[in-house]
Amino acid sequence: MNREHLNDNDIQQLVFESNVADPKILDHLQGCDLCRKAVDDYGILLDELKSLPEPIMDFDVSEQILEQLYPKPERDMALNYIIYIVSILCLGIGAVIFILFLTQISNLFKVISDFKNYLIISTAILVMIGLCQDMLRTYNKKLKKLNFQ
Ligand SMILES: [Zn+2]
């Protein structure tokens, strides 16, 4: 019989992985009451741990995390409606101002020559198209980063 007592690692390995047992350990265990008692104590501890009820949380963790990662679309829809309403209001106000000052605006264009008119209008349209494309590209990039597409 091996006279050296079993260390904690050997005892835990014996209790928790009962199929892994060194013949020297088993030999020592048969002749040593102290080590057999330690093995029994670990066994009792393991049984007690197994008999404990599973911890139950009164909330769903995964749902809360997913909610934070992907906010519910209703909130986005509300924000979209606000943006649409503000955009429509701005367009309406712009249209009213345009109609009210139509004569002054047409007088302004009469003063400037035709060539300059086309130059100004085409430049403004090109700048607006460029800005819209850039805005759309940035929006798509942000969507991809957020993994919504
Ligand atoms: Zn021993």
Report the C-alpha gap between 124 and 106 in whole angstroms.
17
49 C-alpha to center of ligand 1: Å? Answer: 25
19 C-alpha to center of ligand 1: Å? Answer: 20
36 C-alpha to center of ligand 1: Å? Answer: 7
pLDDT of 10: 87
CA angle 134, 138, 140 (to 5 degrees): 115
30 C-alpha to center of ligand 1: Å? Answer: 9
pLDDT of 132: 94
Q: What is the mean pLDDT of each run of 10 residues along the chain (149 residues)?
A: 82 79 84 92 88 78 78 71 91 92 79 77 94 92 75
Tokens of 7: 């260390």
Domain boundaries, the chain: 8-51, 112-149
Other beta carbons within 10 Å of 42: 16
Residues surrounding ion ligand 1 at CB below 5 Å: 5, 32, 35
- Contacts within 8 Å (CB) and 24+ apart, 45-54: 46/15, 46/16
Model pTM? 0.37
43 C-alpha to center of ligand 1: Å? Answer: 16
Other beta carbons within 10 Å of 32: 18
Tokens of 76: 């986005």
Report the C-alpha gap between 45 and 37 in whole angstroms.
12
